[in-house]
């Protein structure tokens, strides 16, 4: 029995881990590297194993850094089965088709640039295309339900447990038996926070001999959620009262649905103006919200109560769905409205048009509700840039800027330690999916286990 780490090794993206037992090869996640040019290039490197040799891929959740290289795996010969929850399968479908389109666009753009330079070098091929994404979708199969063991083959079983991170997300326990020896490996996937809207708290983890745990926020504690919701309502109330628009750059999966949930609650409780107009201007977020509606089995008790009373958790009077680009363009006439659009870090998408038409207005505001990586437009605005470049134009930043930090989808240090304490003193704990400093801080706090921080392609006997 062996385990190898082919991604998210001292890094937060590209999750990909390989188990070997009884001549079977089982991959856990197959994520895309994201962040900058260097990381993009990393996606074109060898996987570290032959995709054709993989029997099973167990997918923890539908975020791109966990599923984004699946079409490439499929293009390079993977013929196995991808096992995951029904909700993750549907979200992954959206995410992978969108990613294929972006890969195609990026290749076209780079080739166009090269042709303008009269560069006669080799044309850039997309990492994968729409057909690769569609082909890979054929390999998906749903698990029956959480906490129910699924036999992959004699001697190897996988059980998914609710991770409370995004819709359908799971921790996965793999139980292996070889030569009369048993070994239980638990993969945390990405772990959610306690007390969030829509999803239940992460499920109690089973005991394991080896734990592979994420460490994104291994070195910090989160701000609490309640003051963040208050801050969100206050930003809307004050901006709308002075006739400005509230722009919310948002991530399409989970964060947008959480915002819709809180907007509905705020309106129902009379804490937001009852004539409030909200525009959801992101085709991806609109489709993702439909997937949420189809997967009520993933909801927590509060969201179930909303559904049971005949209400839609993600809908309210004054919510406008904007699919067409032409309709999106007309929003520049709007005053005193809330506009939710992607992308969350303002690196692409429709939010950039809205920023161009609103950033210079003193009465407007921009509310950041998620992580902004270094070098992104979101980060420049958050860090107080007075002028930014948006769609080839210099725009003054006069709008009020809010950064709301309490909407995290990842467990913080205390929650990670609490979760780990329930896994029953595993012999070994591998930390993945974190920057080195965060990993080290978490490693220093873990007791009753041997901690390792594997390097890329490093492998261990279990
Ligand atoms: Zn995630």
Output the CA 33–ligand 1 centroid distance in Å.
Answer: 13
The pLDDT value recorded for residue 117 is: 87
72-105 burial string, b = 16+ CB within 10 Å, else e? bbbbeebebebbbbbbbbbbbbbbbbbbbeebbe
Contact status, residue 364 vs residue 355, Cβ threshold 8 Å: no
pLDDT tens digits along 210-243 = 999 999 999 999 888 999 999 999 999 999 999 9
Q: pLDDT below 50 — which residues of the chain?
A: none
Output the CA 330–ligand 1 centroid distance in Å.
Answer: 34
Output the CA 63–ligand 1 centroid distance in Å.
Answer: 5
Angle between helices 413-421 and 436-445 (to 10 degrees): 50
Output the CA 401–ligand 1 centroid distance in Å.
Answer: 26
Output the CA 120–ligand 1 centroid distance in Å.
Answer: 40
d(CA 217, CA 298): 24
Output the CA 294–ligand 1 centroid distance in Å.
Answer: 20
Q: Which domains does the chain have, with CATH numbers?
A: 2-220+409-461 (3.60.15.10), 225-407 (3.40.50.10890)
Residue in this structure with the two tokens 């059980």, named with its chain if needed: 159
Output the CA 220–ligand 1 centroid distance in Å.
Answer: 18
Output the CA 77–ligand 1 centroid distance in Å.
Answer: 26
Contact status, residue 354 vs residue 331, Cβ threshold 8 Å: yes
DSSP for 39-76, please give it: HHHHTTS--SS-GGG--EEE-----HHHHTTHHHHHHT
The pLDDT value recorded for residue 405 is: 85
Contacts of residue 293, Cβ cutoff 8 Å, sequence gap at least 6? 312, 314
Report residue 430: phi and psi, to 5°: -100, 125
Output the CA 119–ligand 1 centroid distance in Å.
Answer: 39
d(CA 443, CA 358): 45
Output the CA 86–ligand 1 centroid distance in Å.
Answer: 16
Output the CA 13–ligand 1 centroid distance in Å.
Answer: 9
pLDDT tens digits along 30-53 = 999 987 778 888 899 999 999 999
Output the CA 100–ligand 1 centroid distance in Å.
Answer: 19
Strand extents, DSSP E, 349-390: 365-368, 387-390
Output the CA 293–ligand 1 centroid distance in Å.
Answer: 20
Output the CA 372–ligand 1 centroid distance in Å.
Answer: 15
Output the CA 20–ligand 1 centroid distance in Å.
Answer: 24
- What is the C-alpha end-to-end distance of the chain, expressed in Å? 5
Output the CA 278–ligand 1 centroid distance in Å.
Answer: 27
Output the CA 292–ligand 1 centroid distance in Å.
Answer: 16
Model confidence, pTM: 0.94
- Rounded to 5°, the CA angle 250-253-255 comes to 50
Output the CA 21–ligand 1 centroid distance in Å.
Answer: 27
Angle between helices 283-294 and 86-116 (to 10 degrees): 170
Output the CA 64–ligand 1 centroid distance in Å.
Answer: 8
Output the CA 194–ligand 1 centroid distance in Å.
Answer: 15
Report residue 127: phi and psi, to 5°: -55, -40
Contacts of residue 31, Cβ cutoff 8 Å, sequence gap at least 6? 7, 8, 13, 14, 15, 16, 63, 64, 65, 66, 67, 68, 69
Output the CA 10–ligand 1 centroid distance in Å.
Answer: 16
Output the CA 89–ligand 1 centroid distance in Å.
Answer: 14
- Environment class of residue 342 by beta-carbon count within 10 Å: exposed (0-12), middle (13-18) or buried (19+)? buried
d(CA 372, CA 381): 10
Output the CA 393–ligand 1 centroid distance in Å.
Answer: 33
């Amino acid at each position: 029995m062996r385990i190898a780490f082919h991604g998210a090794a001292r890094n937060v993206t590209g999750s990909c881990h390989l188990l070997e037992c009884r001549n079977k090869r089982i991959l856990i996640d197959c994520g895309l590297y994201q962040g900058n040019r260097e990381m993009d290039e990393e996606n074109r490197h060898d996987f570290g194993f032959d995709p054709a040799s993989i029997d099973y891929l167990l997918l923890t959740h539908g975020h791109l850094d966990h599923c984004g290289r699946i079409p490439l795996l499929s293009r390079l010969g993977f013929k196995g089965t991808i096992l995951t929850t029904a909700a993750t399968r549907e979200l992954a479908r959206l995410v992978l088709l969108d990613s294929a389109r972006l890969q195609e666009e990026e290749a076209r753009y780079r080739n166009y640039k090269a042709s303008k330079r009269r560069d006669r070098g080799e044309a850039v091929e997309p990492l994968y295309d729409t057909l690769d994404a569609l082909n890979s979708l054929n390999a998906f199969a749903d698990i029956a339900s959480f906490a129910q063991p699924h036999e992959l083959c004699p001697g190897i079983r996988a059980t998914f447990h609710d991770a409370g991170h995004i819709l359908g997300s799971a921790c996965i326990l793999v139980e292996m038996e070889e030569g009369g020896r048993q070994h239980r490996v638990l993969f945390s996937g990405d772990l959610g926070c306690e007390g969030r809207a829509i999803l239940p708290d992460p499920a109690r983890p089973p005991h394991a001999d080896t734990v592979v745990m994420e460490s994104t926020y291994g070195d910090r504690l989160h701000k609490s959620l309640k003051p963040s919701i208050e801050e969100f309502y206050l930003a809307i109330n004050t901006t709308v009262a002075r006739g400005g628009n509230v722009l919310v750059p948002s991530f399409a999966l989970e964060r947008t649905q959480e915002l819709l949930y809180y907007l509905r609650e705020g309106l129902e409780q009379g804490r937001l103006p009852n004539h409030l107009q909200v525009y959801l201007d992101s085709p991806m977020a609109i489709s993702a919200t439909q997937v949420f509606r189809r997967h009520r089995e993933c909801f927590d008790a509060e969201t179930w109560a909303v559904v049971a009373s005949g209400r839609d958790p993600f809908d309210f009077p004054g919510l406008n769905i904007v699919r067409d680009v032409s309709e999106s363009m007309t929003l520049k006439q709007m005053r005193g409205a809330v506009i939710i659009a992607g992308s969350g870090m303002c690196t692409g998408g429709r939010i950039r048009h809205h920023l161009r038409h609103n950033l210079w207005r003193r009465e407007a505001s921009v509310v950041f509700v998620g992580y902004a990586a270094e070098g992104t437009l979101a980060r420049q605005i958050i860090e107080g840039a007075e002028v930014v470049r948006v769609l080839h134009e210099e725009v003054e930043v006069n709008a009020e800027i809010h950064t709301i930090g309490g909407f995290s989808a990842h467990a913080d240090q205390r929650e990670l330690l609490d979760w780990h304490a329930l896994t029953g003193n595993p012999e070994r704990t591998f930390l993945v999916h974190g920057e080195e400093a965060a990993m080290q801080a978490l490693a220093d706090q873990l007791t009753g286990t041997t901690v390792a921080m594997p390097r890329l392609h490093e492998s261990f006997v279990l």
